Amino acid sequence: MSIWWRRTWAALRPWDPFRSIKAALQLLVIVSVLITTLLVTVAIHSATELRIITIFSIIACLLITQIVATNLTAPLREMTAVARAMAAGDYSRRVARVRRDEVGELAETFNRMAADLDAADRHRKELVANVSHELRTPIAALRAVLENVVDGVSAADPETMRLALQQTERLGKLVSQLLDLSRLDSGAVRLDAKRFEVWPYLSAVLKTASLGLGTASKGSRSRPRADVPMHLDVCPLHLTAYADGERLHQVVANLVDNAVKHSPPGGRVTVRARSGPTPGSLELDVMDEGPGIPEADRTRVFERFHRGSHPGRDGGTGLGLAIARWAVDLHGGRIEVAESPRGCRIHVTLPGDPGAQP
């Protein structure tokens, strides 16, 4: 009831005289002095005894002080109750901001903090659920393969061992991504940026990504497919850039893996590199010929554990693009889904060497 009354009063009054606590206290002193002066004047011009006037003056000042103090401390008491609820795990409660002074600003900041804690708590629960699911799938598959071998249901032939190896690689990839995610949250990664030639660097990254083309089994979506060729377009050929090689490898490898995964049979994946506007800067595009990314999902694809919504496609772990954005952010660059007449185009901009002279 008290919260409703304060909100109603705040909505009805067009002007709030208490724009700051200092102003409220000054007003309190002024009103108290005026009341005391008025009562003393009445006592001088009448037969009223001075002690009676003094008592009435004290009572009036105490009443005004009580009203102002209650109005000032009500949001603080409410924040105390909300903080206790948050300590008990309830992050849904908020403080009603009905003042315009410093206490009102504190209430607004408190609500933002509560919203951030609520989002962090939801993210923690989603993280535990998603990681548990992602770890359970390859472990269950690997356990089934090994149980069949131990029970004699299937022989330990190369095809069976290849299935076990694929699940082990999937498990190892997930653990590696989670470690990168842990470094992201802790901020323990530092850049070791150097100048390098773009063509041989990207050529080596694509060669590493295509190592599994000839050995990927039918129906496997966790590795590049042999029916999706890769094309490298670097102009000029002697183009150089300034970046951390290991972190940039994470960006390109994750983008290429994602592009190959969502490409149709016979579709081509193109990695295009151009020079940026500043020395050592790089404009990088990874393009595929798949179904593309819907307009509504283009700002969400770089969130952790966000999966593709295309039916029949394996969304993967949902960490690759998040790690790519993290690595680009470390460089101070930008990564986004760009417009493309066909398929999907991820555009990466790296700022280059900040100390280089044009």
Domains of the chain from N-terminus onward? 2-100 (no CATH), 119-170 (1.10.287.130), 192-350 (3.30.565.10)
Mean pLDDT by 10 residues, the chain (358 residues): 48 47 72 77 71 77 77 78 84 74 79 84 73 72 82 79 78 74 66 88 83 44 60 90 86 86 84 88 90 78 64 55 83 87 89 67
**Per-residue model confidence (pLDDT) at position 331:** 85
**Per-residue model confidence (pLDDT) at position 232:** 92
Among the residues of the chain, which ranges form H helices? 2-12, 21-44, 50-87, 102-150, 158-186, 198-209, 245-261, 320-330
DSSP 8-state secondary structure symbol assigned to residue 306: -
Q: Which residues of 19-58 are buried (b: 16+ CB within 10 A; e: fewer)?
A: eeeeebeeebeeebeebbeebeeebeeeeeeeeebeebbe
**pTM for the structure as a whole:** 0.55
**Per-residue model confidence (pLDDT) at position 305:** 62
